[in-house]
Amino acid sequence: MKPLSLTEKILQSHLVGQDELPPAGEIIRISIDEAFTQDATGTMCMLQLEAMGVTRVKPLSVNFVDHSMMQVGFRNPDDHQYLKTVSAKLGIIFSPAGTGICHFTNMENFVKPGMTGIGADSHTVNAGGAGALFMGAGGYDVALAMATGEYSLPMPKIVKVNLTGRLNKGVMAMDVILKMLELVGVKGGKGTIFEYAGPGVATLSLTERATITNMGAEMGATTSIFPSDEQTREYLKGRERGEDYQPLAADEQAQYERVIDIDLSALEPLIAIYPSPGNVEKISDHAGTKVQQVCVGSCTNSSFENIASFAEMLKGKRVVVDTLLYPGSRSVAMQVAESGYLTSLYASGVRVMENGCGACIGQGGSPPSGGLSLRTFNRNFPKRSGTDDAEVHLVSPLVAAASALTGEVSAPELDAPITLPQSKPVIDTASFIMPIPPQEALDSEVIRGPNIMKLPDFEALPERLEGEVLLKLGDNISTDDIQPAGAFLPLRSNVKQYALQATFTMVDKTFSKRAVAARDAGGHGFIVGGENYGQGSSREHAALCPRWLGVKAVIVAQFARIHVANLVNFGIVPLLFADVADYDKINQGDQLAIDVSNLEGDLVLEAGEQKIPLKPAFGPKDIPVLKAGGALPFFKFHN
């Protein structure tokens, strides 16, 4: 038998409709063991699920509330109430506000080694730390997976990351993934699954592994995975889920696309410099830079071990800058309290915040104007913090602690490695609200407050697209640039207002007005961009809102994986320049046309006298979806 990688073993055991794994790039269909959303993507996902006519979901499904929790006014509470009642009816477990960050809480309670899963959030890949194959997707694809228990994806390339050695004192799992980002870059993971292996793996705890898989999203990777071993068993036992354990690893002679070697003992504390997680440098090169704020937490670094290490460094001392801490879950927060760290953190002057995304998604905790915030989070895209001219650098919890004490970027100076006291995890399964049994659910009411708007209807694709280049953008445009979150999060269930108030405001405040005027004059909007367009979040609003504003095609040098699927799902034609040099021939304001009557044929961009060859960024199975005007009209027509 051919020796298999761990990824191949899991994919093989979940294949639907074929027996053999095809070469990289070909579409595979797999069964999905779990599908989940969080509140910021969940309302749209649930509206689509309802529009599909689904009355009960197939796989284990969970709706978490963690992103939009400020409850200033009726909008967030309306969303939460809708999610709670629709979950009960459709057979979905509901994780209310305060229970914890989706990826963290998911890992604690639901993920088992060997499982497959998709979630409406790019950091769903976090679950790879427990030997499971989880991927981020847009809300429509998650709704479809909840309805069918299946998901399609291009067969990924599999790259082995061979870990040797052991982390030195003051160096953390965050530094391992920052090293990977330095080596691979923010688009180097596209179409790839990173499989961690080698003797260094055994030295990393499960939550350390999850820090590493979590930020695989920042390399554009499909996902990342660790083997399931004694560390996995230990973690599951601690969570009273010992029976969920099974050992899993790649076969000895498994073949990989390539191998990356990382010696853990050679790593030093690193920092990702604003404005990209890919700008990785040594802490020592930035030591002494003044900081105005420190934030610890996010789905990347909010485990008990992270918080306890942070608290140990602060013990008996006071922070000198505004320092905010977001525990990953109520379970972690209770363990922090029981072990005495809550008191010592307060005594050190730390602001202990709610168990949720918080400052990571710009829900409060913005730094001051022109300030520098050091964060243990995974993203530092422009303006994501909510302060337009503030900068954010990404660091480990120990660097965060050292810097909070000095008010400057500082490496952790330790005489000996930090040892944490024995402490038992606190189990918090009581926070979950279980769905109503199917028979009773038929009569249960779904409560839709005024913030829950109807989904917009979209027409089929015309034969010819004609209109203006509404925006010409550069490389690495993130979904935070396209459709900012932060203060706009309460508009996630209100497409019209979210589009009018937020779309592309980060790059051009006139965008939505110009787009609506062009749309209402009968034109089709075009967006032109460079490499890695749509990096970052899985938010489908970054396609849905531009579509509402009349955008019909996006032409770029290269797309990020989840975003291109979202464009197709909302009927925007994703296209690539056949020759990247042609990007220079197009300007904002140009009038363009494309004959899209035959999406299988050659596609040519007509720009005045110029005829510019294009390549599809969509696959054959996407063509009928695009023609129908998007996934939902396509689904409704065929069911």
Interacting residues with ligand MIC (CB under 6 A)? 40-41, 67, 121-123, 136, 361, 379, 485, 536-539
Q: Between 38 and 309, name the residue whose CB sits nearer to ligand SF4.
A: 38
298 binds, among ligand SF4, ligand MIC, none (CB under 5 to 8 A by kind): ligand SF4
The structure tokens listed for 635 are: 């689904």
In the complex, minimum distance from the CB of residue 539 to ligand MIC, in angstroms, rounded to a whole number: 3
Give the Cα-Cα-Cα angle 461, 466, 471 (nearest 5 degrees): 100
Site for ligand SF4 in 92-111 (CB under 6 A): 101
Q: Between 529 and 536, name the residue whose CB sits nearer to ligand MIC.
A: 536
In the complex, minimum distance from the CB of residue 124 to ligand SF4, in angstroms, rounded to a whole number: 9
Q: What is the phi/psi pair of residue 315, to 5°? A: -45, 125
What's the CA gap between 114 and 123, in Å, rounded?
A: 18
List strands edge to edge, sheet with 223-225: 223-225, 192-197, 157-164, 258-263
Of 34, 79, 121, 540, the one binding ligand SF4 by CB under 6 A = 121
Residue 137 interacts with ligand SF4 (CB under 6 A)? no
What's the CA gap between 192 and 161, in Å, rounded?
A: 12
Q: Count interface residues toward ligand SF4 (CB under 6 A).
A: 11
Of 360, 461, 556, 626, the one binding ligand SF4 by CB under 6 A = 360
Site for ligand SF4 in 367-386 (CB under 6 A): 377-378
What's the CA gap between 326 and 303, in Å, rounded?
A: 10
In the complex, minimum distance from the CB of residue 546 to ligand MIC, in angstroms, rounded to a whole number: 15
Q: Between 324 and 632, name the residue whose CB sits nearer to ligand SF4.
A: 324
Residue 201 interacts with ligand SF4 (CB under 6 A)? no
Q: Between 161 and 295, name the residue whose CB sits nearer to ligand SF4.
A: 295
Tell me which H or E stretch contains 594: strand 591-595
In the complex, minimum distance from the CB of residue 54 to ligand MIC, in angstroms, rounded to a whole number: 21
Amino acid letter, 244: D
What's the CA gap between 395 and 384, in Å, rounded?
A: 16
176 binds, among ligand MIC, ligand SF4, none (CB under 5 to 8 A by kind): none
Site for ligand SF4 in 339-358 (CB under 6 A): 357
Q: Between 28 and 40, name the residue whose CB sits nearer to ligand MIC.
A: 40
Entry field: residues in the chain: 639
Q: Between 123 and 563, name the residue whose CB sits nearer to ligand SF4.
A: 123
**Helix pair 495-502, 511-520: axis angle to 10 deg:** 120
List strands edge to edge, sheet with 116-119: 93-95, 60-64, 34-38, 116-119, 133-136
What's the CA gap between 566 and 54, in Å, rounded?
A: 21
In the complex, minimum distance from the CB of residue 143 to ligand SF4, in angstroms, rounded to a whole number: 19
Of 61, 68, 213, 298, the one binding ligand SF4 by CB under 6 A = 298
What b/e sequence results for 43-65 when a residue is b if at least 16 CB atoms lie within 10 Å of its CB, and e otherwise?
A: bbbbbbbbebebeebbbbbbbbb
Give the Cα-Cα-Cα angle 346, 340, 65 (nearest 5 degrees): 70
In the complex, minimum distance from the CB of residue 492 to ligand MIC, in angstroms, rounded to a whole number: 7
61 binds, among ligand SF4, ligand MIC, none (CB under 5 to 8 A by kind): none
In the complex, minimum distance from the CB of residue 379 to ligand SF4, in angstroms, rounded to a whole number: 6
Determine contact, residues 296/307, Cβ cutoff 8 Å. yes
What's the CA gap between 295 and 363, in Å, rounded?
A: 13
What's the CA gap between 476 and 407, in Å, rounded?
A: 31
Determine contact, residues 93/62, Cβ cutoff 8 Å. yes
Q: Between 222 and 228, name the residue whose CB sits nearer to ligand SF4.
A: 222
181 binds, among ligand SF4, ligand MIC, none (CB under 5 to 8 A by kind): none
Residue 361 interacts with ligand SF4 (CB under 6 A)? yes
101 binds, among ligand SF4, ligand MIC, none (CB under 5 to 8 A by kind): ligand SF4
Of 80, 112, 123, 209, the one binding ligand SF4 by CB under 6 A = 123
538 binds, among ligand SF4, ligand MIC, none (CB under 5 to 8 A by kind): ligand MIC
What is the Rg, in whole angstroms, of the alpha carbon atoms belonging to the chain?
Answer: 24
Residues that bind ligand SF4 in the complex, under the rule CB under 6 A: 67, 101, 121, 123, 298-299, 357, 360-361, 377-378
